[in-house]
């Protein structure tokens, strides 16, 4: 169990969405259960293995759509050397923020824990131990994983008086992008709860992080050059290079 001397760390894996961008696959599969890699294991198995490799063995799957596929495969987690609990989406709170708040309301997580939030459609070999160490060292309220060298998925032009002077197809830009891994101090859950209005939807990245920054909370970025891949659409799934994948993640 991963503690670092700073209290309990729990992994929260967001895997309740319908996976609309992965249709027609997700008419049959829960998106976290789509087969990945040369051995065709579920996407979520690689997430669980990454968490365990980084010392996080207390995990909560935040489930919704086709949840039984996940429950039936992972059960309580002992087959993978971890402990897995399940938080079921309820309609009162919506969005990714609502999914986390649902778990708080159900007593699955609490304000004394440190939460490692991981979006369940991301493949990565990021060093989560180092991310957590940075989070604790600076005393951050939130730490977001950031990748550099992002490839823009479209062509980019530079114009001068209507004339294209430079054009690059899908260039790599030296910008920092969030890769949907987030460490939260547990007491941020109270901020999240207080910010919800009736029938409101809140996104962790788009709403909660900007709010924490506005409120003067300490929000840090953990910059990494680790492998990461968003498998959130049919196009991205089809383009996943299993050879590259095999070099970056344990496919065993």
- What pLDDT is attached to residue 44? 93
- What pLDDT is attached to residue 192? 80
* Angle ∠(48,52,53) on CA atoms, nearest 5: 115
Q: Is the pLDDT of residue 52 over 90?
A: yes
Residue 154 resides in a domain? no
Higher pLDDT, 76 or 99: 76
Cα(159)–Cα(18) distance, integer angstroms: 41
- Using the 8-state DSSP alphabet, how is residue 174 labeled? E
Q: Average pLDDT, stretch 82-104?
A: 80
Higher pLDDT, 86 or 157: 86
Higher pLDDT, 197 or 84: 84
Q: Average pLDDT, stretch 117-141?
A: 91
- What pLDDT is attached to residue 247? 53
Helices first, then strands: H and E counts in the chain: 8, 13
Q: Average pLDDT, stretch 79-85?
A: 93
Q: Which domain holds residue 89?
A: 9-146+177-248
Residue 98 resides in a domain? yes
Q: Average pLDDT, stretch 28-49?
A: 87
- What pLDDT is attached to residue 179? 87
Residues 63 and 87: beta-carbon distance below 8 Å: yes
Count how many domains the chain has.
1
Residue 18 resides in a domain? yes
pLDDT in tens, 203-218: 888 888 888 888 888 9
* Angle ∠(164,169,171) on CA atoms, nearest 5: 105
Cα(18)–Cα(20) distance, integer angstroms: 6
Regarding beta strands 83-88 and 58-63, do their DSSP bridges make them parallel or antiparallel, or are they unpaired?
A: parallel
Residues 16 and 62: beta-carbon distance below 8 Å: yes
Is 203 buried (19+), middle (13-18) or exposed (0-12) by CB count in 10 A? Answer: middle
The two three-digit tokens of residue 130, written as one number:
């180092």
Residue 132 resides in a domain? yes
Residue 117 resides in a domain? yes
Q: How many CB atoms lie within 10 A of CB 235?
A: 10
Helix H segments across 54-185?
67-74, 95-105, 128-138
What are the distances in angstroms from CA 230 to CA 123, 178, 216, 217? 6, 11, 30, 28
Portion of the chain with pLDDT greater than 90, in percent: 29
pLDDT in tens, 160-190: 777 787 878 777 777 788 888 999 988 888 8
CATH number at residue 121: 3.90.550.10
Portion of the chain with pLDDT greater than 70, in percent: 89
- What pLDDT is attached to residue 226? 87
Residue 203 resides in a domain? yes
Residue 45 resides in a domain? yes
Q: Is the pLDDT of residue 26 over 60?
A: yes
- What pLDDT is attached to residue 106? 82
Residue 162 resides in a domain? no
């Amino acid at each position: 169990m991963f503690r670092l001397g700073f209290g309990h760390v729990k992994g929260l894996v967001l895997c309740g969405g319908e996976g609309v961008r992965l249709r027609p696959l997700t008419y049959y599969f829960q998106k976290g259960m789509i087969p990945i890699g040369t051995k065709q294991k579920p996407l979520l198995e690689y997430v669980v293995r990454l968490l365990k490799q980084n010392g996080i063995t207390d995990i909560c799957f935040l489930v919704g759509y086709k949840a039984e596929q996940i429950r039936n495969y992972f059960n309580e987690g002992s087959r993978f050397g971890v402990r897995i609990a399940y938080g079921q989406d309820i309609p009162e709170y919506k969005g990714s923020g609502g999914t986390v708040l649902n778990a708080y309301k159900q007593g699955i997580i609490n304000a004394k824990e440190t939460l490692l939030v991981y979006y369940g459609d991301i493949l990565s070999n990021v060093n989560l131990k180092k991310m957590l160490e940075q989070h604790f060292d600076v005393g951050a309220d939130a730490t977001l994983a950031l990748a550099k060298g992002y490839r823009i998925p479209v062509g980019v032009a530079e114009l001068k008086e209507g004339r294209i002077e430079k054009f690059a197809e899908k260039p790599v830009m030296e910008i920092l992008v969030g890769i949907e891994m987030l460490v939260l101090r547990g007491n941020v859950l109270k901020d999240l709860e207080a910010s919800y209005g009736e029938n409101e939807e809140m996104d962790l990245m788009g709403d909660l992080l900007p709010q924490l920054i506005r409120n003067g909370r300490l929000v840090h970025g953990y910059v990494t050059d680790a492998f990461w891949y968003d498998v959130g659409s049919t196009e991205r799934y089809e383009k996943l290079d299993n050879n590259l994948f095999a070099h970056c993640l344990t496919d065993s």
